[in-house]
Amino acid sequence: MMGRKVLSLFALSLSVLLPGRMLGARCDLDIESLRDSPSFTTLARHDQQLILKELHDDIAEMAEVDVAGSSKNYLGYFATHLEYKEITGGAPDGRLLLLRYSSNTLCGSSDNCPVWVVELMQGKKGASRAVSLIHWRPGFGTSAEGSWAVATPIGAKPEFPELMFLTHLSRYQTGVHCYRKIGKLYMKVACSPDCAEVIRNLRRPPGASKQNAH
């Protein structure tokens, strides 16, 4: 699409044999940055309207804690600071989008910005409905907490894959929150010990564009 921001992603395939594991105890991941993704405003206008309507309650709650929440047009501010990444083949009957609110008024220097997992269901004449897929939780709404990158298992079925959201714990420590689709919604689950260890061992010096497993 003309005018779309260039998507700046890193992709890293990790094949790690962890000490003390049996041969084949591997964690193979694709890790992609959510930063500098295409602007939400480049989506079709109708799709934008469906998504903003679905996130109405989340946006209202965010306005209460966001420094920019006092803006007369917070909805407009929110929309222009929203970015998205599509999980290719993630939704067999539509599109699976990761939406990240990229604003330093809420993320701060940690870059742990709220992320939503939204399915755009397709009808005969285009998108007919947007559904936020993460189970609602107090304090987080239907967001996946704060994240700057997402990991998905290599070789898994593309439809609604397990999503592992990376978060900054400190300058050189990476944490992870895992979500799996159970029934109709993504629920927060315990991460695979193998994959969690791989992700926690990632090192991300300031300004670095790649991740290194140690």
Q: Which of 15-24, 30-39, 205-214 has the lowest mean pLDDT?
A: 15-24
Residue 127: per-residue pLDDT: 66
Residue 207 reports pLDDT greater than 80: no
- pLDDT at res. 214: 31
pLDDT of 201 reads 73
pTM for the whole structure: 0.80
In the chain, alpha helices (H): 45-54, 56-63, 74-80, 193-200
Of 200, 197, 176, which is closest to residue 188 (Cα–Cα)?
176
Looking at per-residue confidence, does 69 or 19 come out higher?
69
Average pLDDT over residues 114-121: 95
| CB-CB contact of 148 with 161 (8 Å) | no
- Residue 123's pLDDT is 73
Mean pLDDT, residues 149-174: 87
Q: Please give the angle made by the CA atoms of 161, 164 and 167, to the nearest 5 degrees.
A: 155
Bridge partners, residue 187, by sequence: 180
- At residue 120, the pLDDT reads 94
Polymer length in residues for the chain: 214
Percentage of residues in the chain with pLDDT exceeding 70? Answer: 79
Question: Could you write out the three-class secondary structure of 147-170?
Answer: ECEEEEECCCCCCCCCEEEEEEEE
pLDDT > 90 fraction of the chain, expressed in percent and rounded:
46
Per-residue pLDDT, averaged over 152-181, amounts to 88
pLDDT per position as a tens digit, 173-183: 888 999 999 99
pLDDT tens string 182-196: 999 999 999 988 888
Higher pLDDT: 205 or 136? It is 136
29-66 pLDDT, tens digit per residue, is: 889 999 999 999 999 999 999 999 999 999 999 898 88
- pLDDT of amino acid 122: 82
| pLDDT at residue 27 is higher than 50 | yes
What per-residue confidence (pLDDT) applies to 39? 97
Task: Name the pLDDT band for 203 (thresholds 50, 70, 90).
Answer: low
CB 69 within 8 A of CB 63: yes
Residue type, 137: R
